[in-house]
Amino acid sequence: MSKHLGLNPYLPFWETVPDGEPHVFDGRIYIYGSHDKRNGTSFCEDDYVCWSAPVDDLGNWKYEGVIYKKIQDPINGAPYDKEMPEYEPSFFGAETRLLYAPDVTKGPDGRYYLYYALDTVNVISVAVCDTPAGEYEFLDYVRREDGTIPEVGRWFDPAILCEESGNYLYYGFCPPMRFPGMEELDIPGAMMVKLSDDMHTIISEPVCVANGIDTAKGTAYEAHPFFEASSIRHFGDWYYFVYSSLQGHELCYGMAKTPEGPFEYKGVIVSNGDIGYEGNTLPVNYTGNNHGGLVEVEGAYYIFWHRHTHGIAFSRQGCADRVVICEDGTIPQIEITSCGLNDGALPASGQYSSYIACHLTEGDREKVGQVIMAGPGEAVPELPEEMPYITEEVQEDDVVCDEATLTKEENLYPYICNMRKGALAGFKYFAFSGNETKIGLTLRGEGTMEVLLDAAGEKVVGNCEKSGENWKQVWITLPKIEGKQALYFRVAEGKVDFAEFEIR
């Protein structure tokens, strides 16, 4: 049986599950994450959903459905017969709090426990289910036996590890400024507490396992202090603590021989702009926040991360790329690709959507920065005039029912919008056999596109003619190309939208 291609993003284009925490249970890999709205106006606007894939076919993702809803938490009005924890009012002005980044573990009783924080609420909640992707039910809040919650660290972005030695909960948020409700908090960095086997009662005092901005000076964390996005894994002799640094776009990690830490800072695993990879100082894509975790799948290791679409911070898609663990346990920084979960380069012969681009920049690389954000209650600002971005249009005459999801979805046609002179879209990698003779680009607009094998344009292999107001496929004859190659498409003149390409 042939395997499905593993692409970045790995889920269907219409799905937006960032903050991905991958876990393998009983021969399948499950993804737990936040749930953005496509082209949304805030982070994490939808309920939790889950996707899974067999460990031997990482391109074959199945939609497991909604596993937990915002309204199931008592802070959002669900029934609860115990004393409620104290929490501050929402500075978003919303009555219903949003579900932020979660994590899941299999507990000592064989059930599955989901940990999450609601937006602006300094409390971590727990839900439980008998299966990895069933309907989770609210269990309780993480508190001491007397009902109190330690006032060290911000209870945010939980990560959970369940082992014979105990149950370890990691959490934290370390901004350079204090938001409402955080003014009096002691925030040294990423924190860890142990939980009893009921999976919600705290049985140890918080300890700092990775330094944040307030405590990083003079430590190995000084240049990359802990900000948020705690994630924990145990491979071999080492425990790996993955986190998002204050830079935002990068996932860093520390290592320790015990789950209690402290974790020794080791470096960057991935940047969603490839900043730092092989000395890159300019991003290969517009950057934004990042969150994800490591996973081992049949002897191979992957880092899950997320990217941003629509030019904004609030419409994020999950991506993943393979990492190498060296003999000493360290992980060198990897590059972001279009073929992330595939077993090697994608076959060159075939049809691909432009939305799998791992490189997307405007003509002036110095202007490629962060995606656009808006504060609570504010409208999302207009995008910069020169900014290319991934978006979609709805094919209203062809509404389909996706059998994988069992839900009716709009038939979306994704494309890269607003590519102006000098804009570059790159794809890594393809395996060329030498028999491919032409490439067809589906374009719209008034412009000319160059096809390159090198981002610097040193290997221009063809130019396509001008397109027009409607989508049009234009063909270029290819020279003989062999081996693993990156493909780049650059606007030479004018302005175009770029939907897909086909290699024959």
Residues known to be catalytic: 19, 228
- Which two tokens mark 429? 């990698």
Return the amino acid letter for 483.
G
Report which of 62, 14, 31 is spatially closest to residue 403, judged by C-alpha positions.
62
**Distance (Å, rounded) from C-alpha 206 to C-alpha 191?**
6
In angstroms, the Cα distances linking 326 to 12, 129, 228, 241, 258 are: 33, 36, 26, 16, 19
Cβ atoms of 350 and 334 within 8 Å: the answer is no
Name the E strands within 27-171: 28-32, 48-54, 62-68, 103-106, 112-117, 124-129, 137-141, 143-144, 159-163, 166-171
**Distance (Å, rounded) from C-alpha 450 to C-alpha 9?**
25
In angstroms, the Cα distances linking 107 to 139, 168, 234, 259 are: 13, 11, 16, 16
Backbone torsions φ then ψ of 90, nearest 5 degrees: -75, 125
The gap between the terminal CA atoms of the chain, to the nearest Å, is 24
